[in-house]
Structure 1
Amino acid sequence: MSHPIIRPACPEEYDEIGRVWMESWVSTGLAEASGFLLANLRARIRREIENGWSLFVADDKGTIAAMLALHLPKLDLDMLFVAPAYQGQSLGRQLLAFTRTQLPDEICLRCVRENEKAWRWYEREGFVFEKEETEPSNGFVMKYYRWKNERNAP
């Protein structure tokens, strides 16, 4: 398989990005695919971009292999979802390396507590657990993490 190129998302791709997001989220076992979920994710992409997301995709010769949403002013890695067909091929690590070029000193993120595969991966990648809180909008308990670039520390 080729190496997808990470690039800014285009507005005409938002619906496809929503589908990739849904398929990846469903692959965690925490949700079931539905037209309702897909519509909500597609609407959320547009709303979050208006609220400051920088949205990127991993483009594999025209196929969206993953999505990455950063909120640069807040130092947030907000969403990182890899399409099921591309999971297990180090694409997440490639997206995280890209994130570190955009946020070289510090990255904050949150992850659903039940998504153990994801938060354990972030811990292996150097993120430090800070707290757990329930997200009022969906009822999920979220684990909050932070990564700091020790090389740039005073």
Structure 2
Amino acid sequence: MNLNDFDRDTTEEYILLAEENSQILGFASLYLPENFIHNLFVHPNFSGKGVGTQLVNHAIEKMGKPVRLKCVSENHKALGFYEKSGWKKVVEEGKPGEKYWVLVYE
């Protein structure tokens, strides 16, 4: 994703930024009208250090429950992260090779 893609893909979204010592650790983009986490990204160097948890917790705090998101079905690490954090799988959607789970946190 380049900066132009980011600007286009996050139009009208609220951005949460995780940073430390002026270094970006990760971000989340939220579509507030639907309580939807559109993007959640943690820099690989900071994976497993609580950055994703902090971003998700701040997103829930900002939007209130219930909150929804989509996660690529093949991303087993992310699905495990969400399920351990109390998210529930609702439905798997998409065509073969592009499937994703809709998850909800209530």
Instruction: Return the TM-score normalized by structure 1.
Output: 0.64
Q: Is the 8 A contact 2:16 2:55 kept in 1?
A: no
Deviation (angstroms), 1:48: 2.7
Instruction: Give 1:119's aligned amino acid.
Output: L
Runs of 4+ in 1 over 4 A off after TM superposition: none
Instruction: Give 1:48's aligned amino acid.
Output: D
Q: Which has the higher helix share?
A: 1
Based on CA coordinates, which of the two structures has the bigger radius of gyration? 1
Distance 1:73 1:62 in 2: 30
Question: 5+ unaligned residues in a row in structure 1: which ranges?
Answer: 1-37, 149-154
Deviation (angstroms), 1:105: 1.7
Partner of 1:78: 38
Question: 5+ unaligned residues in a row in structure 2: which ranges?
Answer: none
Deviation (angstroms), 1:74: 1.1
Over the aligned positions, Cα root-mean-square deviation in angstroms equals 1.7
Aligned pairs, how many? 106
Alignment of 1:66 with 2:26, yes or no, is yes
> Once the two structures are aligned, what percentage of the paired residues are identical?
26
Distance 1:97 1:56 in 2: 11
Distance 1:120 1:68 in 2: 18
Instruction: Return the TM-score normalized by structure 2.
Output: 0.90
Alignment of 1:53 with 2:13, yes or no, is yes
Distance 2:74 2:10 in 1: 26
